[in-house]
Each structure stands twice: as structure tokens, then as C-alpha cells.
Structure 1
Amino acid sequence: MTAWKARVEIWFGKLGDLLYDHPLKGLTLLLLLICLLGTQLRHIYFDTSTEGFLSPNHPAILDYDRFREEFGRDELVIVGAAADAVLTAEFATQFQSLYQDIDSGLDNTEAVDSLINARYVFGEDDELIVQDLFEPWPEKTEDFREILRRMDSNNLYRGLFVSRDLTMATIIIRLHYLQPDESLTAGQAKALADAQTAKLLTDLNAILDQHRARGMTLYVAGSPVVTDLLQQSMLRDMRVFSLWVIVAIAVLLMILFRRISGVTLPLMVVVLSVVFTISLMGLFRQPLQLPTAMLPTFLIVVGIGDSIHFLSLFFTEFNETGDKRRSIIRALEHAGLAMFLTSLTTAAGMASFANADLLPISNLGVFTAVGVMSAFLVTIIVLPAGLRLLPIKPKSQGHSPHTSPMLDRLIDAATHFSFHYPKTVVFVSVALLAASLSLATQMEFSHNPLKWLPDDMPQKQSIVAIDGELGGSISLEIVVDTGVDTGVYEPAFLHKLEQLGQDLERFSTSEFHVNKVLSITDLIKESNRALHDNDQAFYTIPDDRALVAQELFLLELSGSDDLFRLVDREYRKARITLTLPWINALLYAPLMDTLEERFHDTLGEDYTVTITGLIPLLGSTLNSVIHSAAEAYVIALVVISLIMIILLGNLKLGLISMFPNILPIAMVIALMQLNGVPFDMFTILIGSIAIGLCVDDTVHFMHHFGRFRERGYATKEAIGRTLHTAGRAMLVTSIVLCSGFMVLTLSQLNNFTHFGIYSSLCILLALLADFLLAPALMTLLNPVRQSGAP
């Protein structure tokens, strides 16, 4: 054995001896540290918003923040009321009652808009008048014909306040967030905003239920609805995951060790590790977001592995000798280094995401890596100290962990096959790797939070219904800065803006079309027509700058709410809003390219154009997903390869040992591609997490195989002894990992389900590779040696 490994094993043995003599001191110091850190849990907050996926310093977020400071928040809650025809007296009466209840019954709203109070601009006696569309209130058929005439003469209404076929009318709720006290932290301010949104949606749904009971068909959509759904699902899932993963692991530990101490001590280890890690997030004021929501489950599942390896060796030795001190020391000497290296490789796999542009992915990488290493430290303190204090007795060998004649036969069969047919095993593995990599290169990327929700969820069906009727419920915002105050008055600029709007309204792909384009040009054309005796021929942009200025001044005097949603108060900047459906952010790319090209070609270098809103944020998130995946996979592969080379003390052997770890990941990605599961914010994690976990079993196999070879055992016997000792623990930890990850399939969210299924499959395939491929590789790389006794 290399000298450094021997020294490390001696150090672990001394640690076991120290903790045996001073168990209470070790536990007290550890618990004191975690309790002190636990005071930071109060700073934890949740964030499932679209903008929360990106770092606060990301250029897209900075643009979005500037936009909201200037024009207010663009998140809208949309209520859709469906009917055979909305322009009837019966529906109008029901809709008016609904509108009034929403307008008066909700707190924290900036505005509640609908057909009823939508602006209608007209002229009368040389006066510009802005009144509600349904003013006076229509009662007769002729009145509704007049409403329809008004609607047809204006670009505003269809696709925004009413569907184009007049079978759905909408109520658009603009949220107003109370300004938080400056003393509040970012987390507290976010929690306050979330609480306001949650209350508004709760109150809104209560109102809608009352009107549904009266026969109305109602839907609700908008980005705040999706954000709230994701947050509620996340909170539910965290409770469910944590509960069931603890239950599943407790049952498996009881079956494995048949001792209360074999259950309570490992669970104590992982619970303390979770508290430590989440407290660190609170200390650094980092939120719990959708990916980080599985951090407790991940730490529980992964952290239990070290306990299983340690306790398996301890109880085997203790049952044979009855000497608790010796058993603790021997278990730490034998497994301490392997436990450290497996924790290190798992942490390295997660830390590969530390540099990710996506805030939740970066946080998951950093804090999970810290959590995994903290679990290792807690393990080597709590288990020796706990075993010293607990009154446990040896059991007969019939009660040794993982004893099973069937398992023995399977291990013997794996040993025989991998030793006698190593070239066959390697050839088949290489062929599978080549085929898998070919399919894996065809993987697609996706980012669509709506897709994470199950199709049978009523709230999702509601969003899909409104998207289908209106053509979209989320926005893309464009701000054009003219560079000078009152620059918006320039007719040449307004004509260009009008042309751009008309071009964008015609934009479509096979996947979607632009539903609506709103800008200041619509309001100016309405005003111009009104000031020319309501003559439709004057529904145009005036060519006189002074006239434009006059019309905007009159609109400002009229108190129109819409004006300063479309321009800033200095008339320097103009806002253009596009409404689009919820789809994969990748599919917005052609539109984004068109926007940049058209605005540059039309406006040239004289104006500054900023494209922002939820859709660009979704696109930026997707780009970050792609970049983060590529970077993280390379980092994880390189770092873990280096660890294996150092562990095995041989460059060639270290690189070859990565084969059993890369193969299962490639196979799983290929299966995802065949099943139409794309890479998204969750599934990109599978590769880096899996390589960190899969290599754990390889580390244990190589570590134990090397020890048996150094004792003089022949290759076949060394493989057999390795699989009969470490292989049993490898099997158990793999079962525990699979059980833990399969708990994620209980989630309401599809992305958690996919992550759980394919991570579990990856771990099972990795175990198979370590039982067949790793022994086959060692057979080919090691010369035949006669068996010898240790």
C-alpha cells in the first residue's frame, strides 16, 4: 500500500481511539456548532419566480429591473370568462358582477381592467374624450352592435380583453406590491411579496368559485399564477420527500442491521447534515428554489452511504470479537479513506455547478458539495461516539449484515463471468457506450416552467385554455430610448415604431404566432381620429410633431391610465408589449433574432433598444442551462478523473476506471433522448450528480481490490473477496440511493419525477457496471497471481 494511504488509515484509527475515550466531548462540540449555525434558519426564504433563476447581476436581470423601475411590474393575472357569445345582455350582467367583485374584493392591485372599463377614445365638439368602452351601459341589441363597432375600429380589444371569436372575455389584474421597509433583507422583502401574491390569488379563487357556482365558466392564468403554483408544489414536495425518504431509509436500515442503533445513528447523521447545510444557506441569505428544494432529500440519501459502509464493517468485526474499541478503530481504518474519497467525488460532481450562471443550480452545486462533506465529518464523529455510548451487544454471525445465500450466488456468478469473459464484457460495454453517445448527442434542451406542472392539474388546464383562446398570456417587453426628452413626439420615429408593430403582428412560426402588439402608436392614432370628427381615415400617426405633442398632452389631461404604461413621463422612452403563449423557451429564438434584426435595420444606431420581460428571461435561463451543462460535465469529469488517478496511484488505471462511471450516464441520457425527455434545469443535473455518485462504488471496489491484491490474493479471488465484502455494501447503498431518488416520483412536478426516475436508473446501471465491467477491466490489467494468505 502506498505510504500516504497507510498514514491516512493510521490517522483514522487514532480518531476512532480518541472518540472512544471522549465520546461526549466530541458530540457536544459538534451539536453546539450546529445549534449555533441553526439560528440562521430564520433567514431562509423561497423563490420560484422566473427572474429568480438568474443571478441578480445577470445582464438580463439588470435590464428587467430597470424596466420595472420605469414602467412598473409586467406580471399580470388574467381571468377568462367563457361563453357562447360575450356581447349579450345576459353575459354582460354576469361579467359586470364578476368584475365589480374582483375590483372591490382584492387588495394590492394597481389596476383591474376589462372590456367594461377599457378605454374608448373619441371626439365630441372639438374635445378629446376618454371613457369606458361599456359607457353608457348596453342593454339592447343595438347597444351591443355599437360596442362591436367600437371594438372593430380599435386594435386594443381583440386578443387582450376579448378573444378574436368573441367567446371569452378577460379581466386583467395588475399587481401592486407594497414597498417593503428598507430594513428588510432581500429574503424578507421577497417573502412579503410572495405573501401578497398568495393572498391575492386565494381571495381571487374564492371570488371565482362563487361565480362558478352561478354557472359561469372561468379560468385564471398569468405568470404570478405559475409562480405561486410552483412554490406551493415545492413546499408540499419538500415535506413529502423528507418524510418518505426517512421512512424508506429507516426500513432499509432496520432490514440491513436489525438494530435500533443501526437506524437511529445514521438518521441522526443525515438530519444534522441537512440542518447544517440549510443553515449555511440562511447564513449567506440564499433562497430555496426549485432545484435546491431537493437538497434535503439528496443529502439524506447520499449521506447515509458512509454510515452503511462504516456500520457494515463495525458490526461484522464486533459480532466476531465483541471488542467495541477495536471494532470502531478497525472500521475507521478500513473504510475512512474510502468514505472520504467517495464523499469528495460526490462533492466534486456537485461543485462542478458552482460556476453556473443559473443561481439555483449554482447554489445547489455549492451547498450540496458542502453538505456532502459535512455529512462525512458528522459521520466520523457521531457514529464512533454514538456506538461507544450505546449499550449494544454482539450478535451471532447469522445476524451479520447483508447475509444472503442468493446474494452470494449472484456475486459468485458476477466474479466468474467477469473473470473468464472479460473481453466479451468490455466489447459489449464499448458498443453500448458508442451507441449511447450517438443518441446522447441528439439531446434537446428545454425551459418551460408550465411544462413542469402535470397536465391533469386544473390550474394548468386553466392557463392552457386562456392561452388557446387569446393566443398568449405572457409578455415580451421592448423599450426604445430615443436619447432625448420628448423624443417620442417625432413623427418619423412613431412611423417606424408603427411599421415595426405591424411587422411583428404578422410574425409566426410552426409553433406559435405573436398574439398582440401594444404601443403608444395605437393611442396616438385613436386620439388623432377623435380630434378629426372620429373619421376612420385619420386613424394614423400625424406628420406634425406639434400635433403629436398636443394629442399626448390632451391624453395626459384626460387621466388615461394607459398613457404612462406606454411611455415614460419625459416622453423619452417608448414601450412595446408583445403577448405570446407559454412554450419551450428554445422556440422563441426565431422571434428574438427577428426582433434584433428588424429593430436594428429600422431604427439604426440612433436609438437604444432593450428587449426584456419574462420571455427574454426564459431564453436567458435556457442559454444558461446549455452553458452550465457543458461546463459542469467537463469539470466533473476532469476533477473526478484526477481523484481516481491519485487514489489508484496510476494514470492509466485511473483513466480506465472512469469507464464504468461514464457508461451508465451515457446510457441514461440516450434513454432520455429516446423517451423524449429533454435537458432542462433539473435533468441536466443527472450527469454530474450521477458521475459523483457512480464513482463512489468504483472507489470502494478499487480500494478493496487493491488491498486484497497487496495481501497476495490472485485476481479472481481478489475480485470475489471485494464483491463479497465491499460489494454487499455497494449493493445496499445503491438500493438506498435508488429508493431515495424514487421518492422524488411522488412529486406533483414532472421535472422532479424525471430526475428521480433517471437518477435511480443511472445508479442501478452503475452498480451493474461495477459488478461486471470493473472486474473485467481489472482482470485484463492485472497479471495472474497465485493465491496467498494475508
Structure 2
Amino acid sequence: MTDLGPRIEAATARLNETIVSKPKTVIVVFLLLTAVFAGGMTAITTDAEATDAFTDGLEEQEALDAIDEEFEGPFTTDQESTQLIHTSSDVLTRGELLAMLTVLERVDDRPDLRMESANGPATIVAQALDENARTPAQQRQAIEGATNAEIRQAVRAVADEPAFSAIVSDDFSETEASASASMTVISHDVPQEFDDDDLTDVQTAIDSLADEESADIRAFGTGVVNEEFENIIGDSLAIVMPVVVVLLLAFLVVAYRDPIDLALGLFALLMTIVWTFGFLGFSGIPFDQQLIAVPVLLLAVGVDFGIHIINRYREETVQGFAPLEAMRTANNQLMIAFIIVTVTTVFGFGANIISDLGPIRNMGIVSSVGIIFTFLIFGLFLPAAKLEVDRLRNRYGVPEFNSTPIASEESSLGRVLSISATVGQRAPAVFVVILLVVGGGMGAYGAGVDTSFDDEDFLPPEEEAWYVEYIPEPFAPGDYTVTETINLLEDRFEANQDESITIYVEGPFEQDHALEALESPNSDPPESLAVGPGGEADAQSIVTVIQSYAQEDEEFAALVERNDRSGNGVPDRNLDRIYDELFASPAGPQAQQYLTEDRRGAQIEYSIDAEASQAEVAADGAEFAEEFRYDATATGMLVIFDAITGIIFDSAIQGLILAVALTAVFLVIAYAILEGKPLLGIVNVFPIVIAVAFLIGTMRALGMPLNAMTATILSISIGIGIAYSVHTTARFIDEYTDSDDTLDALTTTLSGTGGALTGSMLTTSLGTGALALAITPVLGDFGLLMAMSVFYSFVGAVVAMPPAVFLWARIDDAGSIRAWLSTR
């Protein structure tokens, strides 16, 4: 290791010499690479299916997909479908029914909208009035030809039909023949090559037709949701990025105080974004809501690098050094720090690659590659460009506006930043122990932070934020209605959308014991499923369909009784004949909801305890599935979302542990090789661990859960925050080597590099905090937490690091921890 350190330093010196001696070559190479990556930006695709990407590969989702594919529900077809959601004071009046049928008629007149059939209150009431009214035009005529009294009578006549009650709101009154909301399902006859984009086009066209007829009717479906998700990406970028740029510009003006240096810094930031988005296009990774945060993170790191290189260069020039020598010194000193920051940041960002969730994994990949690009551009290109620009300045007599560093030992900011060095010198061990205790307490408290996953995390809230109405064109977002529609369906159709889980069972269901095997576990279910009057499960399955139809048909009842040897109402022989009779009967469509045509797959729907948590229900469902004789899987959106929630939590904790472990090991090895002082690696990690503990404690205190986006914040905090510790340590080592006085070295470090850290913290925290303005909650929470993370990391580097450095210096002077302890 003793020989390796000098060799690394020599290699770094040679690289820096190339940068400062051949700046034009470096600039040309980087500009050519930028042109190449710009070409890749044209290949970027977007992923509009925000939540679908999280469910890929989940066993629970695969079971649900099998159910959707193999079972027939009352409104499911082999084709795509669109829902028309109708709201009014009373959607069952003559005028409102006519409005809906007029929309259906206009849709039917458009061959490109591929309407095969429609089923809703208006069509059902029209056919109750005229059973021969098959088309929307005929149904409209039936309604037009009826009196209000006849329409109310028709509504009452169909009120008890399941097909009708399932599509009117919970406030439906049979007496008044009224309801405040309804849904009408349009089935589309589509060719095999019909894809999501085609469905989106169809549903948006239907929505436009509905809006032209009545503002109270809107289209809803997969295509509408996908379009909204896709628009969210563009609208969020349109809102966030200008704010980020303005904030960065404002603080970079203060940090650089020179328009030419400012332009250089901004151009380097632009190159970073171009390279990263070009990689995105070349790699084929789709751009989704997760990746909106990546350019903001890269700007944050790029600003940090840029401020450090320009500020350190200025520290040398104000002492009278020529530009070439000043840059050689600045870059020699910063290059090692930049490399360490880049590696540790890649560890922090890249730790998300281990996630089982695709979007989080993609974010880890893209952000890690982007950080490497940031290092190359700011570590190699920016110094070369700065030297070349300064040469041109001197040649053409362009004056410097302000070339002083941000802070110095004589400045007010420098004196404030260096206070912690004086304080930390007095009792460093005591301060370190206090910080460990307080940080440990915050971490323990934060361990109880909630975890969540929900579609609505990715959608704008129903009530838009107050600032949205003040956003000018062309940055103003469009109208978003999906959340409002989802809330309406949950609020007004609650009785028809009871929380439940589904058990998907695979087996030979013509065997004599098959139905008994389905029914027997129901007598002793887990607690959250024991909602029956006697503590049994409340299940709907092929068994309940058989029993229900047996009560209606005597001949079928006799068939069941003859084949029920146990006498419990569940047939246990000749099941193939019973199925044939059942599927050919009026109960056949209902039976198809629970048993596949080949009799090898069944689903059972279970009601659940309304007071049980999602985690309890999911755990009980998984436990219950083990009780079945055949292969069984618990599924349903509640179970799927709980599975994703668990993976999110695991990803957050595993990513944090991996990031801390890799960072600590790397820093210990790096400082052992470079300086022969491995304990400096622990000193580096100490402040950022305290910062992360405070961050997770703050999350719990503010009620901000770990979700699809914020789950990445813990490891990313390591990646972003470690830069503050590394830059502080790197400068301290240089000053300490020259003076061998810990207090003087820390004072110079905190007043000099501390000024750059302050500028970096302000620009980074406010820049990332701008994500809080995004129109989706998931991005807003991430932006706010990122800003807090940066602030905590800065405070850790300035406040927590000095006592740790003093403690390290005393141990280093003693020769070892054991020797130091023996003198206590």
C-alpha cells in the first residue's frame, strides 16, 4: 500500500498535467462526445404505465393476470373496454339518460372507435321499455318516446338486477328511481395488433365526444390513465426544471460573481444532462416519473464540483499564482477528492440497483452513469475550459468581475464556519459520544417510518396546489381528472367495491374431492378473513354458485344432492356432469367468473375485516393459501400493493446498508493507500451516518412514508452527502500536512472549503427542493427530503466532523486506539 499511494498520486498528476497543458484537445474531445450523446436523446422513450412497472415479476401479479385472462366477469370481454362515468344530481332522469345514449350513438357512428357493445343504466332502462332496442339509436328513441313516469317505472323494474345495481352509485333509491352517479361500459372490438397507444387514442376521442355532449360525462380506462401518466412526466419537467435553473442561476451568480465563469459552469451542467439523456436513449431505458429526479440530482453534484474547482482555483490566483500554476495546484488537490466523491456517490446511487423493483433499479443505473459523466465533465473539461477562457480573456483584455473565493479566514462567513473547530477541540470524545447517542435515537425513532405504495402517489391530487394557477403558459400543466374519478368510484360505488382478496387455485377440479378441497379451509380462516357470523370465511366461489343455483332449480338441486355423499351441500362425485349442467344454465355466466373452461383453475373471493390493515390481510391471505390442497396464491390489488410495499422497505434498508458498507470500506482503503491513515475513512462516514439518522427520524416526525420514490432517498443521501465530508477531509489533509496543527488546519479548511460547501449546500438544497413543486406527491416528497438531506449533510460536515477529526488526531498521535486509551 505504501508504494500504491504515490503511484496513484503520480497518475493523477499526469492526468492533470494533460488537462492544463493541452486544454484545447480536451475541449474538442468533450464537445465531440457531447454531439454523439445528443444524438442518443432522440431515441428516448417514455413509460406511461407508472405502476405496472413495479408489479412485473411478482407472483401475486402473475396470479391476478391469470385470473383476468381466464375468468369472465360481468363486464369483462376479450376486447378492450372504456368506462363512461356519469355524475349529476340524478343520472336516471329522462334528460340524463338521453345524454348518455347520445354519447353512445356518436361513438357507435365512429368506426375508428370500434364500439362493439355498451352496457349501462341507460341501455338497461331503454331495453326494459323496448326489448327490441339493440342499438344506441334505437335505445335513445325508446327513452324519447317514454314519459317520465314510464322511465321511473322501468328503473324500478330493473333495480334488483345485479347487472343494474352494480353500475349505479351507492345512493341509488329504488323509491325515487334516482342516483347521483353511474358507469357505462363500452366494449371494443379490436384487432390483435391493437396496442396501448391505440387504446389511448380511442379513449381520448370518446372523452372528447362525451365532453361535447355533457360536462358531467367523462371517459375512464387504461388509455386515459396512461395518457395522464405520460403528460405528468412532461408537465412535471416543465414546472420543475425552469425553477431549478432559476434557483441555480441565482445562487451561481452569487457563488461565481463573474458572468463568464457562470456561463462555463452552466454549459458544463448542460453537457452533463445531454450525456445522461443520451445514454438513456442509447440504453433503451424508458423515461418515467422516477427518472425526473435524476437531472436534478446531477445538477446538484455538478454544482458542487463546479463551485469547488472554481473556488479553489481562485484561492490560488488571489495569492499571485499564474493561471496555469493555479489550476495545476487546484486540480491536483481536488482530483483525488473528486474521484473519491464520484466512487462513493456511485455507491450511494448505485445501491438501488439491487432493488427487485424495475423503476428503482433503473434509477440506480441511470443516476450512477450520470455521476460518472459529471466527474468527467467537471473534473476534466471544466478546468481545461476555464484555462482556455482565461487565456482568451487576457488576450482580448476582458476584465474579471470578481475572482475572490466565497469565504476566507478573514470573512464573516469564514469565522462563523470555523467556530465548530474551536468548540470541537475542547472535548472531542464527549461531542462524538453525544452525536452518536442523539443520532442513534433519531435512527431508532425513524425505524418506525411507514411504508406505502398507491396509484395516487403518481397522480396529481384532486385539489391542485395553490401555486398551479399562477404558473404561466407554456409551463402550466394540463387538466388532470384521473384522481378525481378514482375518488368518485371509491366514494360512490363503495358497496360494489368492497375490499377483498382473491385466492387463485390451480388443480384438477373434476376430481371427486376437488370442491371439498376448496371449501374445507373456509371453516377456520385467519383472523382478518373470519368475517362470517360463526367466525368462518365469507367466500364466493364455484361452490357458492352451485349452491345458489340449486336453490333456484329443483332439478339441479336433485343432481347436486345425489352426488353429495357427505350431505354438506358440496357435491363430491360426478363433478364433470354438474359443471356441464351449471355452465349450460342461466347461472353459467356467473360460474365462468369462478371456474375456467378447462376446469383446471378456480378463483375464490374473500371478504375481509374492514378494520384489518393491508399488511395483516396480505399476511393472512398468504397463510390461508397454504391451507389449500392444490397450488394456491393470494392475490388482488391489496395483496399486490402490500408485496410492493414490502419490497420498497427492503430496498430502502438494503440499499442504505450496502451504500454505507461500500462507502466505509472504500474510504478506509483509499485513505490507507493515499495517506496511510485508514481511520480517516471512518471519520468521513461518521457525519453522513448522523445525517441519514436525522433524515429518517424527520421523515417519521413529518409523517412522510417510504414510497416508490422516497425509498431511494436513504442510499442517495449517502451518495450526495458524502461529498461534503470528503471535500472537508481532503482539504484538511493538505493543510494538516503543511502545518501539523489540527486546529489551524481545520480553521483554514472550514473557512476556505467551508465557503464552497455553503454555496454548494444552498444551490443543491434549493435546487433539489424545487421538486416539491412537481404536480405529483411522490416527487414532491422526494424533493423536500432531498433538500433536508443536503442540509443535514452540510451541517454534519461542518459541525459533526471537527470533533471527530480532533479525536482522530489524538489517536493518530498516540499511534493506535489502544495506546490512546491507555493514556486516558
Partner of 1:383: 382
- Within the candidate set 71, 80, 83, 2:85 is matched to 80
- Within the candidate set 97, 113, 116, 1:92 is matched to 97
Give 1:636 shift. 0.6
**Aligned-partner Cα distance in 2 for 1:156–1:299:** 54
What secondary structure sits across from 2:353 in the alignment? coil
Give 1:299 shift. 1.3
Give 1:337 shift. 0.4
**Aligned-partner Cα distance in 1 for 2:796–2:601:** 61
Residue 632 (1) aligns with residue 655 (2)? yes
Partner of 2:172: 165
**Aligned-partner Cα distance in 1 for 2:107–2:342:** 54
8 Å contact 1:310–1:331 — kept in the other structure? yes
8 Å contact 1:350–1:369 — kept in the other structure? yes
Q: Structure 2 vs 1, CA of residues 593 and 61 (structure 1 numbering), >3 Å: closer, same or farther?
A: closer
Q: Structure 2 vs 1, CA of residues 75 and 656 (structure 1 numbering), >3 Å: closer, same or farther?
A: farther
**Aligned-partner Cα distance in 1 for 2:330–2:298:** 23
Unmatched runs of 5 consecutive residues or more in structure 2:
72-76, 129-133, 174-178, 465-480, 532-537, 561-568, 814-824
Residue 392 (1) aligns with residue 393 (2)? yes
Partner of 1:573: 601
Q: Which string of whole-angstrom CA distances, capped at 9 and with x for unpartnered residues, describes residues 681-736 of structure 1?
A: 12222211111221111111111112211112411111111112211111111112
Q: Structure 2 vs 1, CA of residues 226 and 675 (structure 1 numbering), >3 Å: closer, same or farther?
A: farther
Q: Which string of whole-angstrom CA distances, capped at 9 and with x for unpartnered residues, describes residues 529-567 of structure 1?
A: 8878999xx9xx9978546424534679x9x7x886765
- Within the candidate set 743, 747, 751, 2:778 is matched to 751
Aligned counterparts, 1:98-117, within 5 A: 98-101=103-106, 107=113, 112-117=118-123
Q: Structure 2 vs 1, CA of residues 612 and 47 (structure 1 numbering), >3 Å: closer, same or farther?
A: farther
What secondary structure sits across from 2:113 in the alignment? coil
Partner of 1:409: 415
8 Å contact 1:683–1:751 — kept in the other structure? yes
8 Å contact 2:724–2:797 — kept in the other structure? yes
Residue 429 (1) aligns with residue 429 (2)? no
8 Å contact 1:68–1:74 — kept in the other structure? no
Q: Which string of whole-angstrom CA distances, capped at 9 and with x for unpartnered residues, describes residues 608-631 of structure 1?
A: 434445444323321210111121
8 Å contact 2:453–2:708 — kept in the other structure? yes
Partner of 1:552: 583
What secondary structure sits across from 1:384 in the alignment? helix
**Aligned-partner Cα distance in 2 for 1:69–1:550:** 24
Partner of 1:761: 788
Partner of 1:206: 208
Residue 736 (1) aligns with residue 741 (2)? no
What secondary structure sits across from 2:360 in the alignment? helix
Give 1:310 shift. 1.3
Q: Which string of whole-angstrom CA distances, capped at 9 and with x for unpartnered residues, describes residues 18-41 of structure 1?
A: 234433433333343443344443
Aligned counterparts, 1:22-61, within 5 A: 22-49=22-49, 52-54=52-54, 56-61=56-61
Stretch of structure 1 that moved more, 384-393 or 693-702 = 384-393
Aligned counterparts, 1:296-311, within 5 A: 296-311=295-310
Letter in 2 for 1:665: V
Aligned counterparts, 1:156-305, within 5 A: 156-163=163-170, 165-166=172-173, 167=179, 168-173=181-186, 179-180=192-193, 193=196, 195-213=197-215, 216=216, 218=217, 225-305=224-304
What secondary structure sits across from 2:417 in the alignment? helix
Letter in 2 for 1:54: F
Q: Structure 2 vs 1, CA of residues 313 and 243 (structure 1 numbering), >3 Å: closer, same or farther?
A: same
Partner of 1:464: 487
Letter in 2 for 1:148: R
Partner of 1:186: none
Aligned counterparts, 1:468-617, within 5 A: 468-471=491-494, 478=502, 480=504, 483-484=507-508, 487=509, 493=515, 546=577, 548-550=579-581, 552-553=583-584, 568-574=596-602, 587-596=613-622, 601=627, 604-605=628-629, 607-612=630-635, 614-617=637-640
Residue 372 (1) aligns with residue 378 (2)? no
Residue 447 (1) aligns with residue 449 (2)? no
8 Å contact 1:320–1:397 — kept in the other structure? no
Compute the TM-score of the two structures, normalised by the length of structure 2.
Answer: 0.78
Letter in 2 for 1:617: I
Residue 705 (1) aligns with residue 732 (2)? yes
- Within the candidate set 672, 682, 685, 1:655 is matched to 682
**Aligned-partner Cα distance in 1 for 2:498–2:187:** 13
8 Å contact 1:47–1:287 — kept in the other structure? yes
**Aligned-partner Cα distance in 1 for 2:752–2:293:** 32
8 Å contact 2:101–2:123 — kept in the other structure? no
Letter in 1 for 2:312: L
8 Å contact 1:482–1:488 — kept in the other structure? no
Stretch of structure 1 that moved more, 101-110 or 753-762 = 101-110
**Aligned-partner Cα distance in 1 for 2:671–2:155:** 81
Stretch of structure 1 that moved more, 160-169 or 625-634 = 160-169
8 Å contact 2:356–2:651 — kept in the other structure? yes
Give 1:107 shift. 2.5
What secondary structure sits across from 1:163 in the alignment? coil
Q: Structure 2 vs 1, CA of residues 21 and 610 (structure 1 numbering), >3 Å: closer, same or farther?
A: same
CA-based RMSD: 4.5
Partner of 2:311: 312
8 Å contact 1:480–1:575 — kept in the other structure? yes
**Aligned-partner Cα distance in 2 for 1:32–1:620:** 46
What secondary structure sits across from 2:170 in the alignment? coil
Q: Structure 2 vs 1, CA of residues 175 and 380 (structure 1 numbering), >3 Å: closer, same or farther?
A: farther
Q: Structure 2 vs 1, CA of residues 219 and 493 (structure 1 numbering), >3 Å: closer, same or farther?
A: farther
Give 1:220 shift. 6.1
Stretch of structure 1 that moved more, 716-725 or 286-295 = 286-295
Aligned counterparts, 1:615-694, within 5 A: 615-649=638-672, 650-694=677-721
Q: Which string of whole-angstrom CA distances, capped at 9 and with x for unpartnered residues, describes residues 736-767 of structure 1?
A: 21121111011011121111112211211221
**Aligned-partner Cα distance in 1 for 2:608–2:147:** 34
What secondary structure sits across from 1:353 in the alignment? helix
Partner of 1:341: 340
Letter in 1 for 2:156: L
Q: Structure 2 vs 1, CA of residues 407 and 318 (structure 1 numbering), >3 Å: closer, same or farther?
A: same
Unmatched runs of 5 consecutive residues or more in structure 1:
123-129, 182-191, 510-515
What secondary structure sits across from 1:280 in the alignment? helix
8 Å contact 1:291–1:364 — kept in the other structure? yes
Q: Structure 2 vs 1, CA of residues 436 and 220 (structure 1 numbering), >3 Å: closer, same or farther?
A: farther
**Aligned-partner Cα distance in 2 for 1:150–1:593:** 40
Q: Structure 2 vs 1, CA of residues 735 and 51 (structure 1 numbering), >3 Å: closer, same or farther?
A: closer
8 Å contact 1:121–1:526 — kept in the other structure? no
8 Å contact 1:197–1:224 — kept in the other structure? yes
Q: Which string of whole-angstrom CA distances, capped at 9 and with x for unpartnered residues, describes residues 299-344 of structure 1?
A: 1222232122112122333454463322222221011000111111
Letter in 2 for 1:712: S
Partner of 1:185: none
**Aligned-partner Cα distance in 2 for 1:736–1:753:** 18
8 Å contact 1:316–1:401 — kept in the other structure? yes
8 Å contact 2:261–2:386 — kept in the other structure? no
Partner of 1:127: none
Stretch of structure 1 that moved more, 689-698 or 135-144 = 135-144
**Aligned-partner Cα distance in 2 for 1:594–1:108:** 43
Stretch of structure 1 that moved more, 245-254 or 84-93 = 84-93
What secondary structure sits across from 1:725 in the alignment? helix
